[in-house]
Structure 1
Amino acid sequence: MALSTLPKLKVLISGAGIAGPCLAYWLAKTRPNYSITVLERSPVPRATGQAIDIRGAAIEIIKKMKLEEAVRTRGTTEEGTRILSASGKTIAEFGKGDTFTADYEILRADLCGLFLEATENLKNVRYVYGDYVTSLQQTDKDVTVTYDGGSKEDFDLVVGADGATSKIRAMILDEQVRKDSYKFIGQYVAYFSIPRQSSDTKHWYWYNAPKGLALMTRPHRNPSTIGAYTCYTLPAHGQHEPAIEEALKQGPEAQKRIIHKYFDDAGWEAKRILDGMDKADDFYMSRAALVRLPKWTNGRTVVLGDAAFATFGVGTTLAIHSAYVLAGELSKVQSTDDIRRAVARYEEVFRPIYAKSEDPMPGFPQIAFPQTGWGLRVRDTLLWLVSRTKAYKLLPADKEENSPLPEYDWVGESRL
């Protein structure tokens, strides 16, 4: 059957963050005629999230999407990173593109907004907010999903792209595959915006205190605010703090109260940051976790992005890269019967790419967020030495940057 005569193939993408809309964009550029629904549990596009970076192959994909200039325009303006001592003085500094601050830094909400703008007016893409999948049933021919409202719909392919705490993952992959896949690394992080002061520079400021406490600020493109972060790190992966876990269940106000309990006397600009937190309307707190799965696909269903392989440092890059590869493999189908093979082929192609960046730095995050004053002094001494000698420039390039970008036969703008 010629691709031009294919029936319209229906795809459901659960999650309107980064991987989902990116996949929708590239599916719209394939020769097979895909009808794409992007389903988002939130009633509106999410306007919160930390600063994220784009590296490696994802930069080339952004360029192919003609979004490079928009990403730069909406960048955070961050010029580098300054590590602070207990007294608040800079003990180590790293420039843009060196280690911490990437050449492409953007707020998560801004990148999501760019992907939404690039797809929401495409004729074969529709967004549905305020709903979610409660169950799915798969056959050799299709996947039937049941929505929260009780209605049902059939699709040729269902993609779970709803983040590290994905709900649909349990409907796609069986319990044995998912066993121990969500790995809490012993860190709680809160993100929010606070008013900018005239003394604020365009740097990421990173301050630590004993007992795994850290306060950070990062610049925004918006000249009236900066991003603020509180990090509470336990001594080991898998450890939980009962009081914080209870606050996470109760909601933002309880979470702000528990942050005050731990950070009121943390030093540096704790008072300013916590005062700003109390007034912030974009506060968000979460657990830091890795997701490690031995398998991402199941017939006509697949998990993508953080739902499949949440990681650190290159999570956004992997989300963009994986969406491109999945769409590329789906671009080759000639009938609905080919979808299962295309999905399996996606995992064959992308898993070796992902494997290069699978593991974070050994001992992270505990090694970067010490529990004791002595540990902080050791870490600070090492960072001072590395920054002064520029020893980090001797390290090999990010492994993901060395991953070749597969080429696929995309259609022109007229199709969109």
Structure 2
Amino acid sequence: MSASKMKILISGAGIAGPCLAYWLARTHLNAAVTVMERSPTPRVTGQSIDIRGPAIEIMKRMNLEEAVRSRNTTEEGTIILNASGKPFAHFEGGDKGGDTFTAEYEILRADLVGLFLDATESLSNVKYLYGDSIKSLDQTEKTVKVTFAGGSSDTFDLVVAADGGISKTRDMILDEHITKNCYNFLGQYIAFFSIPSRPTDPKMWQWYNRPNGLCVMLRPHRNPATVGAYLCITTPARGQQDPAVEAALDEGVEAQKRILHEYLGNLGWETKRVLEGMDSAEDFYMSRAAQVKLPKWTNGRALVLGDAAHATFGVGTTLAIESAYILAGELSKIQSSEDIPRALERFEEVYRPLYTKSEGLPPFFPQFTFPQTSWVLWIRDSLLWFISKTKLYKLLPADEGSGLELPSYGWVDIHRKDE
């Protein structure tokens, strides 16, 4: 390495950012890594997420398997409910049911982010800055000058945008012809929050669908006092927006809650309980379901990572962990800052083939899964009943992850601030 210490800026303290910081600390680079987060504090909200594929092995190499298992959501499987709220299809989860709805490693997003923060905040060459964001970037052949929204500026050898699917930094890094139409709305709006649990709540993911693309779900939490509630509004086609919901998203939380009351108020089953709990929920969050697809992720000394690069419904967490690991690994091979642009190109060459195996979404998703008409809902339910009754889903291979090969890199021991 060159005599001067390399400086790396990561925008986003979600999944991909802290994971990348951890693996950068395991390289020989001895780089000064700054992880910046727009939120003034760590984000403690988020839905249930799962870890699959090669990301399982990466999580194990971070020595986090026991911690992730101890924070499991306790979800044992999935049940699909009919119009009367009675279960008619049952799918076992984890290692009992193959690769189904409930994965072996289910954890709340806030819990996983917390584990990654705990694993990196004490590292001697990693620091976190909250309450600021990137306002502009200016790349030269040797550096990236960053101006922050808070008014300060600094120069870095590498800038990584890991600030989510609606990344504001993406357009600063990549050319317009690359980012054009990269954000693909799937035609679904999802709200998630916590409500008080009841003794009768099963340790199952409960799906209650009604026509017009409406759905209410409940999922168990590790904390027995609460359960996760999920409300879905699905339009008839991908890319089709609902003007009233879009307006509520622009207006804020209270407007979003009002529109959910309007759309789902008379849906049946546990909906009244869920909406009442929503009104007082402190962790309410509503967003669009979308997929981000880009033909290129890197540009000189900057790149997008995680959801900012390839948000994909159902596997976003897995892709974020995988991409962070491989990016750090390719950077671990460089000898000086001058080698960074080529390392980013190698990252694309190595990770793009792995990513393409996971980038596809099921046909007709989410519209067939959340149907508009009673007829299509009956077809979907009949198919799910048959798969559940015959237990065909158990023929799907369990997602071990460790059996899939990851590139080999020369990792080193990490150094903490108190050592």
Q: In structure 2, what is the equivalent of residue 49 of structure 1?
A: 46
Shift of 1:96: 1.2
Could you tell me how far apart the structure 1 residues matched to 2:403 and 2:64 are? Answer: 22
- How many residues are aligned here? 413
Q: In structure 2, what is the equivalent of residue 330 of structure 1?
A: 331
> Does the C-alpha gap of structure 1 residues 198 and 396 become closer, same or farther in structure 2, counting only changes over 3 Å?
closer
Q: Which amino acid aligns with 1:66?
A: N
Q: In structure 2, what is the equivalent of residue 29 of structure 1?
A: 26
> Does the C-alpha gap of structure 1 residues 399 and 410 become closer, same or farther in structure 2, counting only changes over 3 Å?
closer
Could you tell me how far apart the structure 1 residues matched to 2:54 and 2:177 are? Answer: 32
Q: In structure 2, what is the equivalent of residue 86 of structure 1?
A: 83
Q: Which amino acid aligns with 2:291?
A: L
Shift of 1:282: 0.3
Shift of 1:201: 1.3
Q: Is the 1:329–1:346 Cα contact (8 Å) retained in structure 2?
A: yes
Q: Is the 1:191–1:283 Cα contact (8 Å) retained in structure 2?
A: yes
Shift of 1:336: 0.5
Task: Say which SS state the counterpart of residue 129 (structure 2) adopts.
Answer: strand
Structure 1 unaligned residues grouped into runs of 5+: none
Q: Deviations over 1:358-404 (max 9, x none)?
A: 11101100010011111111111100000111222344676988752
Q: Is the 1:353–1:400 Cα contact (8 Å) retained in structure 2?
A: no
Could you tell me how far apart the structure 1 residues matched to 2:170 and 2:401 are? Answer: 25
Task: Say which SS state the counterpart of residue 274 (structure 1) adopts.
Answer: helix
Q: In structure 1, what is the equivalent of residue 63 of structure 2?
A: 66
Q: In structure 1, what is the equivalent of residue 74 of structure 2?
A: 77
> Does the C-alpha gap of structure 1 residues 400 and 104 become closer, same or farther in structure 2, counting only changes over 3 Å?
closer
Could you tell me how far apart the structure 2 residues matched to 1:23 and 1:6 are? Answer: 23
Q: Is the 1:55–1:401 Cα contact (8 Å) retained in structure 2?
A: no
Q: Which amino acid aligns with 2:154?
A: E
- Superposed CA RMSD: 1.4
Question: Aligned runs of 1:355-374 on 2, under 5 Å?
Answer: 355-374=356-375
Q: Is the 1:164–1:291 Cα contact (8 Å) retained in structure 2?
A: yes
The answer to whether 1:100 aligns with 2:101 is yes
Structure 2 unaligned residues grouped into runs of 5+: none
Question: Aligned runs of 1:129-148 on 2, under 5 Å?
Answer: 129-148=130-149
Could you tell me how far apart the structure 1 residues matched to 2:265 and 2:159 are? Answer: 46
Could you tell me how far apart the structure 2 residues matched to 1:251 and 1:87 are? Answer: 33
> Does the C-alpha gap of structure 1 residues 399 and 375 become closer, same or farther in structure 2, counting only changes over 3 Å?
farther
Q: Is the 1:356–1:400 Cα contact (8 Å) retained in structure 2?
A: no
What is the TM-score of this pair, normalised by structure 1? 0.97
Q: Deviations over 1:25-68 (max 9, x none)?
A: 00011001110000100000001000000011111111111111
Could you tell me how far apart the structure 2 residues matched to 1:177 and 1:240 are? Answer: 24
Q: Which amino acid aligns with 2:23?
A: W
Q: Which amino acid aligns with 1:130?
A: G
Question: Aligned runs of 1:178-327 on 2, under 5 Å?
Answer: 178-327=179-328
Identity %: 65
Q: In structure 1, what is the equivalent of residue 351 of structure 2?
A: 350
Shift of 1:415: 7.2
Shift of 1:7: 2.8
Could you tell me how far apart the structure 2 residues matched to 1:357 and 1:221 are? Answer: 28
What is the TM-score of this pair, normalised by structure 2? 0.96
Q: Which amino acid aligns with 1:74?
A: R
Could you tell me how far apart the structure 1 residues matched to 2:412 and 2:225 are? Answer: 42
> Does the C-alpha gap of structure 1 residues 356 and 365 become closer, same or farther in structure 2, counting only changes over 3 Å?
same
